[in-house]
Structure 1
C-alpha cells in the first residue's frame, strides 16, 4: 500500500503540473484539445466538449495538447485563440503555469502538514549546528566541517534559544572581510577557529554554510516526539521559511550537478528510487507523504524550468529568442529540437527505471 501511495503522489504532482498549463490556457480562451497523464498508447480516454482527457501507458510525465499543429483540427489557422497566434506574454504564461502550479502545491502541502501534524517541541542546546554548502565555500576552506556546533563568536556565547541562528547570521553579515574568532564543538572536542566572511554584492558578509538549531525533540512517555499545533499565522510563516529552504537547497543541488558532475551524478534518482523513498516514508508515517510531495513538487518545478528541449524552460527559451529576433525560429528547427529532447528524456527515464529496478532487493534475489 505504501508503494501505491507513493505512486499516487507522483501522479498527483504530474496532474497538478499539467492542470497549471490547462487552466492558464483555458482562462485566456486558448484552445486545448488534449490533456494526458503519461505518454504512449492510450489506456483510457474521455472526450469532453473541447478537450480529450486520457491516461497513457508510460507514466513518465504528461502533456497538454493544443490544436495548432493537429492536421485533423477544423479550427482556421488564423484563429486568434490558437496558442501560436497569441502574444508572447500569453504563451509564456501558459508555458510557465505548470511550474507555478507545482510551487504553489508544494507550499500548500507544507501548510497542510503543519496543520495536521504540528511542530515537534524542541529542547534547545547552546550553539548552532552548521553544514558548509560545499568544499569551495569560505566556511569549508577555513576548516568548518559538517556537524560542527558553533558555541561562541568573538567571545560572545550563543545561547540555547530558537533565536541562536539569527544571532550568528547577524554576526557573519555584519563583519564582511573581518576575521571572526569562533569556538567550535566537534564531537567531544572544543576548538578555536578563525573565519573571515567575504563581502557579498549587498555589502553583507557570507561564508557559505547552512545553519540549524542545536536542538533535540522533546519525547513523551511513549518515547515519541511531543508536538504542538501552531496558529494559522505561524503555520503560514513557518511553511514559507521551509518552502524557501527547500527551493534554495534544490537549486544548489542542481548547481552542484552542473559544476561537479562526476561526484554528484550518482545521486540522481529516477522514478523507481523516488517511489522507493516515498514508500519508506509512507510506511513510517503516512503523513510523511505530505513533505515528500512538497519536495518532489519543487524538484519537478526546478527540472521543468531548466532551458532544455522538451521541457517548459526550453519552450520559454524559444519565446525569448522570438522576442529578441522579432520572429519565431523556423518550425522545423523547433520541432527537431523538441523531438530530440523528448527522445532523450524518455530514454533517460527508461534507463533509470531499468537500472533502479534491477537494484531492487526482490529482483536481485531472482538471480541469486
Structure 2
C-alpha cells in the first residue's frame, strides 16, 4: 500500500512539474516575470529567492505550480491599479496580461506540449529498447455460437476476417461498425482459411442475446511487438503518441455522452483514487508497465488540459482566441467567473469519479478489464 501511494505521488509530481516547466521556460523566453516556481502546494516549508523568482518547496508533495506576474489580470482590467501601486513600468511590460497574444497563447499551451513530449520520449524509449505490444491486423474468429447466422453461413473457428462489403477489416472496431450498420441485411465477408481466401454471405441479426452479438461470434485481435532502431523509433514514438492522443479524445467524448445521457460513467473511467489503485496493479507487473502508465497519464493530462474548459489551459487559450478574433479583451470579471464555474464543475466531476473509485475498491474490483 505504501509503495503504491509513494509511486503514485512520484508519478503525479513528475507529470505536473513537467507540465509547469513548459509554462516556466516559455515565460522566461518571452521575458514574462515569474514570481514563484513551487514544488508541491502550500503551505510553504522552504523557499529561496534567486533573482526575481522565488523557488519553493511546499508541504503537499503533489505536483507544483508557476506563478506569473499579472496572470490573474489576463483580461487587462488591473493595469490601472498596478500602475497606481507604483510598480515600475518595466514590470508592467513584463506582466502576463501585457504580452502579445501569440506569446500568451504559447505560454498557455506549453504545459500541454511538454506532457505530449514526455509521452513521445517514453514511447521512443520503449520502441527502441523494449518493444511496445500493439494490435496487429489479424481479426480471428475464436468461437461460433450454435444456431446463429455465423454458423448457418459457414463461418468457422480460426477464420481470419479480411473484408466486409469491400471494407478492409484490420481492427475489431471496424468489424463491429460494419456489422451493426447492416443489421438485417446480407453482408459479404472475405475470410482467410488455411491459406486461401473464401467469400461467405452472412445476415447479421437485428435482435440478438446480449452476450452474443449480431452474427454470434467471438473474435480476438493478434498482438505484435513493435520495435525500431533509433532514430526511426522517434518517428514512430510521435506517431504512437499522436494516435493514442486521438483515442483519448474520443474516449473523453464517449465518456461525456454517456454521463449526460445515462448519468453514469463507462467502465474503466477513473479519478485520482482509481489512478492510485491502477498504479499499484502496474507496479506488480514491472517497471515497463509503470512506464506505460506514465505514458498514458501524460497523454491524458495533455488532452484534458487543452480542452476548451474554463480553469484549464484550453479555457485560457479560448479566451485569447476570442480576443484575437474580436479585437477586444474579454471582460476580466466575466473570465474570472467563467474560471470559477469551470473549477466548480471540474471538482464536482472529480468528486463523482472518486466516489465511483471508492465503491470499486470496497467491492474488491480491479480497474483493469
Tell me the TM-score range normalised by the shorter chain: 0.5 to 0.7
Q: Deviations over 1:2-29 (max 9, x none)?
A: 4422321121010111111111111111
Stretch moving more, 11-20 or 240-249: 240-249
Change (3 A) 1:62 1:311: farther
Q: Distance in 1 between the 2:345 and 2:221 partners? A: 45
Q: 2:95 aligned with 1:82, yes or no?
A: yes
**Are the counterparts in 2 of residues 47 and 53 from structure 1 also a CA contact under 8 Å?**
yes
Structure 1 equivalent of residue 234 of structure 2: 236
Judged with a 3 Å threshold, the aligned counterparts in structure 2 of structure 1 residues 116 and 257 are, in CA distance, closer, same or farther, namely same
Provide the C-alpha distance between the structure 1 equivalents of 2:86 and 2:128, rounded to a whole number of angstroms: 47
Distance in 2 separating the partners of 1:306 and 1:155: 37
1:181 aligns with 2:188: yes
* 8 Å Cα contact 1:128/1:165 also seen in 2: yes
Residue 128 (structure 1) aligns with: 139
- Determine whether 1:324 maps to 2:328: no
Structure 1 segments unaligned to the other structure (5+ residues): 131-147, 159-163, 173-178, 196-211, 218-226
Which residues in structure 2 correspond to 1:132-171 (within 5 Å)?
150-153=160-163, 165=170
Distance 2:134 2:266 in 1: 36
- Give the alignment's Cα RMSD to 1 decimal: 4.2
Report if aligned partners of 1:99, 1:304 keep a CA contact under 8 Å in 2: yes
Distance 2:354 2:134 in 1: 40
Distance in 2 (alpha carbons) for counterparts of 1:149 and 1:93: 51
Q: Distance in 1 between matches of 2:95 and 2:331?
A: 18
Structure having the higher Rg:
2
Whether the aligned pair in 1 keeps the contact of 2:126 and 2:132 (CA below 8 Å) is no
1:328-347 aligned at under 5 Å gives the runs 328-346=329-347
- State the shift of 1:120 in Å: 6.4
Work out whether residues 35 and 52 of structure 1, in 8 Å CA contact, stay in contact via their aligned partners in 2: yes
Closer/same/farther in 2, CA of residues 59 and 363 from structure 1, 3 Å limit: farther
Q: TM-score, normalised by structure 1?
A: 0.68
1:191, distance to aligned residue in structure 2 (A): 6.5
| Alpha carbons 2:44, 2:56 under 8 Å: kept | yes
Say whether the 8 Å CA contact 1:31–1:66 is kept in structure 2.
Answer: yes
Give TM-score, length-normalised by structure 2.
0.67
Cα distance change, pair 87–100 in 1 and its aligned pair in 2 (3 A): same
**2:89 aligns to what SS in structure 1?**
coil
Contact 1:182 1:194 in 2 (8 A): no
Aligned 1:55-66 pairs, distance under 5 A: 55-57=57-59, 62-66=64-68
The answer to whether the 8 Å contact 2:279/2:293 transfers is yes
- How far the C-alpha of 1:57 sits from its partner, in A, is 4.8
Question: Would you say how many aligned residue pairs link Structure 1 and Structure 2?
Answer: 302
